[in-house]
Amino acid sequence: MNGIHDLGGKEGFGPVRFSPNAPVFHAPWEVRANALYSLAVKQGIYNMDEYRYAIERMEPRHYLNASYYERSLTSLASLCVEKGLVSHEELEHRAHGRFPLARPPAAGRPNQPGRERFVPGDLVRVREDHVSGHARMPGYIRGKIGRVVTESPPYPFPDAHAHGVAAQPEPTYDVQFNSLDLWPGCAEPAKVHVSVFQSYLERASEH
């Protein structure tokens, strides 16, 4: 989905709030929230793609204001409600107040038919797909041309796996893009490497 989570290349943000050796957790509830979402994955309540998609479906104002662990908690709670472990009403009763959840899911999709196998050195174009379901294609590479560097082992296709849609595992390709192709005239020179699922790619011809 073209959601608020898709931040790569968005402008207007200030300096990174960086400190070396920053603590991972700041409060006991954070480690609990992290543990609980991880437990639900281990228990088979949902998979990582469903988990990521439920974060992406958070109302944008909530997403931008929530800390990382609040987003984790919101995804966990949303999926527990959607999968029938508890009602939203009961959850709010137990929490003694409102418990904002993610917005409802859209439909997923199976793998791209007729997708191609690539080898390192191949020139590829990212398909101009727009989907409202889950996807792992950052918007900044849509329609862009890059070069395959390596192939990674097959993994369930996220656009299907987040939605319970049957699909085949497929490889991802490490594709190297030039930052000045991604944002022509408006980026600092760099190579940007993105792990791109096979279904998102088509062959491009040499210029």
Region 103-142 residues binding another protein, contact defined as CB under 8 A: 103, 136-138, 140
Looking at beta carbons only, is 32 or 203 nearer to another protein? 32
Which residue lies nearer to another protein by CB, 98 or 205?
98
Which residues are registered as beta bridge partners of 155?
170
Single out the residue of 143, 142, 147 nearest to residue 124, CA to CA: 147
* Smallest separation (angstroms) from another protein to the CB of 125: 17
Least distance to another protein from the beta carbon of 198, Å?
A: 10
- Residue 200 near residue 114, CB atoms below 8 Å: no
Cβ 145 to another protein shortest distance, Å: 16
Instruction: Report the residue from 2, 117, 181, 191 that binds another protein according to the rule CB under 8 A.
Output: 191
Of the pair 151, 202, the CB lying nearest another protein is at: 151
Going by C-alpha positions, the residue among 89, 117, 96, 109 that lies closest to residue 166 is 109
| Count of residues that bind another protein according to CB under 8 A | 85
Q: Residue 107: how many CB atoms within 10 A of its CB?
A: 10
Residues forming beta bridges with residue 176, ordered by sequence position: 147, 193
Q: How far is the CB of 48 from another protein (least distance, A)?
A: 6
Question: Could you tell me the smallest distance in angstroms from the CB atom of residue 94 to another protein?
Answer: 4
Pick the closer one to another protein by CB: 13 or 114. Answer: 13
Q: Dump the DSSP string for 62-97.
A: HHHHS-HHHHHHHHHHHHHHHTTSS-HHHHHHHHTS
Going by C-alpha positions, the residue among 147, 142, 145 that lies closest to residue 130 is 142
Among 82, 129, 165, 179, binds another protein (CB under 8 A): 179
Residue range at the interface with another protein (CB under 8 A); choices 15-23, 108-116, 123-131: 15-23
Q: Rounded to whole angstroms, how far apart are CA atoms 142 and 147?
A: 14
What's the burial of 160, exposed, middle or buried (CB within 10 Å: 0-12/13-18/19+)?
Answer: buried
From CA 31, how far away is CA 22, in angstroms rounded? 15
- Print the binding letters for residues 65-94 with another protein: x by CB under 8 A, - otherwise: ---x-x--x--xx--x----xx-xx-xx-x
- Say whether residue 31 binds another protein (CB under 8 A): yes
> 21 vs 205, which CB is nearer to another protein?
21
Structure tokens at 40: 């639900």
